[in-house]
Structure 1
């Protein structure tokens, strides 16, 4: 006699039983506060941008959005959290670019494609090549020429190994043949302090260099974006300077796998509204951050493409770290 209560049948019956509940929940979504994991410490630029996004989305959705700071694991704590999160849309995470790279560096508890639902991207960080304002180097060409004339004498600080910052340095070295020595720090702040203290010749930072540029203590030689940036007034892109170095770093919103399509669409619409919200735009402008919107379909395609490409990128950086 067959067992009518086999594990497979039991699971199927359970799924059929909860399906109407999930559909009803999606229809009424959101009817309680939503939490967004920010995988960095409170007070940093990503945290402040995440809070501004949450406030804007909350106004659109007419619901409270709570920020949960969970720093560590190279910004992948939010992605790890999604693995054990119920797909009801009430717990989400910011998804920094590094989550696509981390699985190639160490064993992770998440798969960036199988374990996450991508909702939308909303901004991007920019990478800038910087020297001390007192440095005689005034252009990228002068920087490259000096590096070629003085092999291994150019030390370049970044916020750490395997960051997008380091990737800018690697790509510039590959494009020019210049030999650059990587000096990893724990963050932009340490790298900038080392630069201004004369411990390194250059640094590759994010938008956190802006106050120093505006104060006249640091000189930005180029940015690794597709086009010139308003925040970096008068600074050329690497491409304009003749070097094909373009490293995007989108920041987006993601949820656990299996997030219902109706909920994804509502959240995507909220992000789309946020990137046009004057309050949100004013908040990110204070940090020189630009919007970079991709809808859920575009963002999912970007995630799959980026994860596939990161294997080769990590290989390049491994060579640089030897």
Structure 2
């Protein structure tokens, strides 16, 4: 799976579904396409979605119009697309939170059955950061310190079920350490309190940490997955075997959507993520543009479900 996630477009579209070129010639939308983004305007999901939508629309010959449809942790948007006509005119800009994490926490197994993978477009690692006064320089020292001081350390996250929360729950499950969760209403206040020493550690996107890192108030000790460029920071998996996660985005459509539609959309995504200027801009936001076939995204999706299901069960987060 690690090798799969290294598949990155480099100005080519050779990783398309077999026969997609022939399929793609058979289908084009006859009116503007709706891309449902299940989060508010201006956030990271929305920003990446709009960039992809613009380029996908250019490829398809019809505008791809982003519609923000938040609510219920993204479930409302996902269900809207799942119940739409399977004609390629309504597509879902999916994220782990709304098609994997929230459904698993809610015990909702139907969403995954109602949506079909088209292709991944990006992934972003999180950085593991600690307050500068915490006397650990790396993951091994953090584990040792936590085991020597059980229950004394805590971590902040954007809230229950957030990526940082589950990332630390996975860390606890893999290492056996005891670290208390302090939920916040958003990642920004969690990072502010981390810098102030109110919490000991957190996980967050690299760009969100820049100011506090430059001020010397927090320290980055590891990444949860490979970054868009080499920043000289080790991976958590260098110490904790098998530990890895990224926030990721991709496109999904109703399950009954025809292969020709999926192939055309997939080819459009390949072209979109091959835009070098966009790749550089996304790298500055901590995001690595990728391309996958529908089958590869589906396989990745199934691994994500299995991985986070174990974490959610172990943490007692199932509703």
> When the two structures are superposed, what TM-score results if normalisation uses the length of structure 1?
0.82
Q: Distance in 2 between matches of 1:315 and 1:242?
A: 20
Give 1:106's aligned residue: 106
Q: Which moved more, 1:58-67 or 1:230-239?
A: 230-239
The Cα offsets for residues 70-123 of structure 1, whole Å up to 9 and x where unpaired, read as: 223223332111132111111111111121232332255x72332112110111
Matches of residues 304-315 of structure 1 in structure 2 within 5 Å? 304-315=302-313
The Cα offsets for residues 181-206 of structure 1, whole Å up to 9 and x where unpaired, read as: 11122322121122123211111112
The Cα offsets for residues 254-275 of structure 1, whole Å up to 9 and x where unpaired, read as: 1122111111100000111112
Assess if the C-alpha contact under 8 Å between 2:169 and 2:311 holds in 1: no
Q: Which moved more, 1:165-174 or 1:59-68?
A: 165-174
Q: Displacement of 1:241 after TM fit?
A: 3.5
Q: Displacement of 1:303 after TM fit?
A: 2.7
Q: Distance in 1 between matches of 2:282 and 2:138?
A: 28
Aligned length: 292
Gaps of 5+ in 2: 1-24
Q: Distance in 2 between matches of 1:301 and 1:230?
A: 22
Pair 136,301 (structure 1): closer, same or farther in 2 beyond 3 Å: closer
Q: Distance in 1 between matches of 2:207 and 2:80?
A: 28
Assess if the C-alpha contact under 8 Å between 2:33 and 2:65 holds in 1: yes
Pair 278,32 (structure 1): closer, same or farther in 2 beyond 3 Å: same
Pair 314,135 (structure 1): closer, same or farther in 2 beyond 3 Å: closer
Give 1:218's aligned residue: 218
The Cα offsets for residues 39-79 of structure 1, whole Å up to 9 and x where unpaired, read as: 11111111111111111212222321111112232233321
Q: Distance in 1 between matches of 2:43 and 2:91?
A: 19
Pick one of 249, 255, 265 that aligns with 1:251: 249
Q: Which moved more, 1:205-214 or 1:80-89?
A: 205-214
Assess if the C-alpha contact under 8 Å between 2:224 and 2:244 holds in 1: yes
Give 2:269's aligned residue: 271
Larger-gyration structure (1/2):
1
Matches of residues 155-304 of structure 1 in structure 2 within 5 Å? 155-212=154-211, 213-214=213-214, 216-225=216-225, 227=226, 229-231=227-229, 233-304=231-302
Q: Distance in 2 between matches of 1:252 and 1:32?
A: 22
Gaps of 5+ in 1: 1-25
Assess if the C-alpha contact under 8 Å between 1:116 and 1:255 holds in 2: yes
The Cα offsets for residues 16-58 of structure 1, whole Å up to 9 and x where unpaired, read as: xxxxxxxxxx945222211111111111111111111111212
Assess if the C-alpha contact under 8 Å between 2:174 and 2:240 holds in 1: no
> When the two structures are superposed, what TM-score results if normalisation uses the length of structure 2?
0.83
Q: Displacement of 1:138 after TM fit?
A: 2.3
Q: Displacement of 1:149 after TM fit?
A: 2.0
CA RMSD in angstroms, aligned pairs only: 2.4
